[in-house]
Structures are given as structure tokens and as C-alpha cells.
């Protein structure tokens, strides 16, 4: 019998958080955390594979994304511009597990979703069976983009109002399409002086072959509801990432790097695992490399990613697992 993804809302810390879930969970639970411009839907292939293998797959929409509630706006404009608190996201993961009566789970994440995934594992090792992150290694402190040019997309999006004006020139579908086209490439998105990020790809630029117009429709409909307010605040809150120079993971960690993921070219984002830097923080570390993998490797090459994830889960079974 084919597994069917179901949807629900959980009252989490004053907000209604949307979750997608599938599978009975005979072997335990896997929580999937998305990045930007993604949503729970970006994990669809992995969720079905995990369910078929005997796991319960749960993928929330972060607060301010998709079908989840928006956090209230703050009166102070400066505080509102960077109100994302990474502690809130860690607390949300814990609250989801509690609401679903899940004692411990594997946590899988990508892009900025890796940040709360790593912090959750450090703070709640007893609730974490293992962490698998795509494209982003653990950082003991806030990321620095000082070496990047002014037109680097993160720096542009950190300017209050700039991305809003840039995105506002187009409909939501065009914005999501452009970001997917840009981020699926191997080059770091950098705009020239007098040029905006949305100008880096026009409407004639083809979608990646693994991303259909129907997929784009799903993303567009969800961002039509949520808008880009909270996603942009996450970029403007990167300086709030905690400093953890003495961090030591007590759980196994898998990192998956794509050979054509533009983020691997960023200063400070080079192969930390290969250089031995990540191993200083993660005694039980496993690394994997997918040569053709892009920033969206889980959607681009789902079978390869699924094989790596399921292999990682199998290496760390949950004794007397419960859903």
C-alpha cells in the first residue's frame, strides 16, 4: 500500500504550526527541517522513503512559513527587522516531539535548517538519535560574510527593505522560480552595482530538469499565503547565532556535500569535515560527497540522498522504538 502524506496543525508556543507526516514509525521518527526558499514539501521524496523503510516522517513548516502561523510583528522597526531567534526554532523542534509523544528522533536538515538542527542535538542529546545535514556543516559561531562582495545575495537580503522592494516587482511565483534557478547553479549569486538579485535570472531561464512547473505551483501557493517576511528575518538574524567554541556532539552526525552546491564556495563554508575542523566538534562523524549534487540535492537526486539517510538511520537503530 502506498503511503499518503497527511497534514495537521499543532499548537506550539502560541502559534499553530503546520506539520506534514507519514508512516507508522515502527523503527522510530525522523524530523525534517527545511531551509529557504523551501517548505515541508522539499522533503517529499525523503519522507516517503523513510515511511516505506519503517519510520515516521515529520516535516514542519517553520513559523512564518507555508501553512504555519506568522509570529506577531514587533512595534520597534529595528527589532522587527531581525526578530528571528534561533532559540525559538530549537524550542519548536522540541515542542513538536513533545506534542507527538516522540521520545527521540533523527533530525535531518538543510540550508539554514541545519542551524537549529545542530543546536537541538547539542542541547537535547537525549532526544536526538542522530543529525544529518545537507550542505551546511556545524559552525561554532555566527557566519561571517565580510569577504564577500557587496552584491552577495545574503548581504543584499540583510538590508531592511531591499529584498522586499526587489521581490515586490514580481509575483510570488516568479520570485520562487528565480531563486530556485539561481540557487540550483554552481555559482554564488552576486549582483552587480545597480543590479538586484531578481535581475540575475529572467523569465526565459529554464527550471532545473528535476523541478517541475507543478512543483513550482506548490511552492508558489504556500509562499502566497506566508509571504517572505519571516524568511528574510532569518537572514537578518544570522549575527544572533550563538557562539559555542567548546561544543561537543554526543550524537552521531552525517554531513552530505554536493559538488555543485554554490554554498561550498563561500568563505568559511569550505569542506570543514575534510579539513578536520568539524571532527573537532563531532567525535562520531560521517561524511558523504555527491559530485553532481546541487544546493537542492534532496530534490535533485533523491535516490542517492535517501540511500545515504536510510543507511545512517540503520547504523543507529532505536532500541524498542516507538512512533
**Bridge partners for 57 per DSSP:** 22, 30
pLDDT at site 35: 95
pLDDT at site 270: 57
Q: Which three cell numbers stand for residue 136?
A: 551546511
> Taking 90 as the threshold, does the pLDDT of residue 240 lie above it?
no
- CA dihedral (164, 165, 170, 176) in degrees, to 10, reads -30
> Taking 70 as the threshold, does the pLDDT of residue 273 lie above it?
no
Q: How far is Cα 93 from Cα 116, in angstroms, rounded to an integer? A: 8
24 by DSSP, 3-state: which? Answer: coil
286 by DSSP, 3-state: which? Answer: strand
Share of the chain above pLDDT 90, in %: 78
- Under CATH, to which class is 6-315 assigned? alpha beta
> Taking 70 as the threshold, does the pLDDT of residue 143 lie above it?
yes
Q: What is the mean pLDDT of residues 121-134?
A: 98
Instruction: Provide the edge-to-edge strand list for the sheet that holds 285-290.
Output: 6-12, 15-22, 56-60, 29-33, 105-110, 128-134, 253-258, 285-290
Would you say 56 and 47 are in contact if contact means Cβ atoms under 8 Å apart?
Answer: no
Going from N- to C-terminal start, the domains of the chain cover 6-315
- List, for residues 164-211, the tens digit of each pLDDT value: 999 999 999 999 999 999 999 999 999 999 999 999 998 889 999 999
> Taking 80 as the threshold, does the pLDDT of residue 105 lie above it?
yes
pLDDT at site 320: 42
pLDDT at site 323: 46
pLDDT at site 142: 86
Q: How far is Cα 61 from Cα 36, in angstroms, rounded to an integer? A: 11
**Bridge partners for 288 per DSSP:** 256
pLDDT at site 75: 61
The per-residue DSSP string of 112-167 comes to GGHHHHHHHHHH-GGGEEEEEEES----SS----TTS-TTBHHHHHTSTTHHHHHH
- CA dihedral (246, 248, 253, 258) in degrees, to 10, reads 10
Q: Which three cell numbers stand for residue 127?
A: 532526544
Sorting pLDDT into bands at 50, 70 and 90, what band is 267? low
Sorting pLDDT into bands at 50, 70 and 90, what band is 266? confident
Q: What is the mean pLDDT of residues 79-107?
A: 87
**Average of per-residue pLDDT values in the chain:** 91
Q: Which three cell numbers stand for residue 89?
A: 526554532
pLDDT at site 280: 87
- List, for residues 298-315, the tens digit of each pLDDT value: 999 999 999 999 999 999
Sorting pLDDT into bands at 50, 70 and 90, what band is 77? low
Q: What is the mean pLDDT of residues 219-231?
A: 95
CB within 8 A of 288, min separation 6: which ones?
Answer: 254, 255, 256, 257, 308
Amino acid at each position: 500500500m502506498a503511503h499518503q502524506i497527511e497534514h495537521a496543525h499543532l499548537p506550539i508556543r502560541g502559534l499553530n504550526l503546520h506539520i506534514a507526516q507519514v508512516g507508522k514509525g515502527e523503527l522510530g521518527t525522523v524530523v525534517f527541517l527545511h531551509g529557504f526558499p523551501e517548505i515541508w514539501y522539499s522533503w517529499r521524496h525523503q519522507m516517503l522513503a523513510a515511511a516505506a523503510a519503517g519510520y515516521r516522517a515529520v516535516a514542519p513548516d517553520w513559523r512564518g512559513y507555508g501553512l504555519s502561523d506568522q509570529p506577531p510583528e514587533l512595534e520597534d522597526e529595528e527589532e522587527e527587522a531581525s526578530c528571528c531567534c534561533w532559540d525559538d526554532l530549537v524550542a519548536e523542534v522540541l515542542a513538536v516531539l513533545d506534542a507527538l509523544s516522540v521520545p527521540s528522533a533523527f533530525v535531518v536538515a538543510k540550508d539554514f535548517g541545519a542551524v537549529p538542527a545542530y543546536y537541538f542535538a547539542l542541547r537535547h542529546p537525549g532526544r536526538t538519535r542522530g543529525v544529518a545535514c545537507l550542505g551546511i556543516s556545524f559552525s561554532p559561531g555566527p557566519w561571517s560574510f565580510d569577504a564577500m562582495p557587496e552584491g552577495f545575495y545574503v548581504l543584499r537580503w540583510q538590508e531592511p527593505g531591499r529584498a522586499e522592494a526587489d521581490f515586490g516587482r514580481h509575483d510570488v511565483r516568479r520570485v520562487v522560480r528565480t531563486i530556485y534557478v539561481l540557487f540550483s547553479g554552481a555559482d554564488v549569486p552576486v549582483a552587480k552595482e545597480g543590479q538586484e538579485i531578481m535581475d540575475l535570472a529572467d523569465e526565459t531561464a529554464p527550471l532545473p530538469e528535476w523541478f517541475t512547473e507543478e512543483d513550482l505551483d506548490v511552492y508558489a501557493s504556500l509562499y502566497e499565503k506566508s509571504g517572505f517576511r519571516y524568511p528574510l528575518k532569518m537572514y537578518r538574524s544570522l549575527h544572533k547565532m550563538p557562539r559555542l567554541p567548546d561544543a561537543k556532539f554526543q550524537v552521531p552526525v552525517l554531513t552530505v556535500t554536493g559538488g555543485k552546491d554554490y554554498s561550498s564556495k563561500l568563505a568559511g563554508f569550505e569542506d570543514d569535515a575534510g579539513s578536520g575542523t568539524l571532527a573537532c566538534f563531532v567525535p562520531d562523524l560521517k561524511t558523504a560527497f555527491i559530485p553532481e549534487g546541487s544546493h537542492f540535492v534532496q530534490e535533485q537526486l533523491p535516490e542517492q540522498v535517501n540511500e545515504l539517510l536510510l543507511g545512517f538511520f540503520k547504523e543507529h537503530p532505536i532500541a524498542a522504538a516507538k512512533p
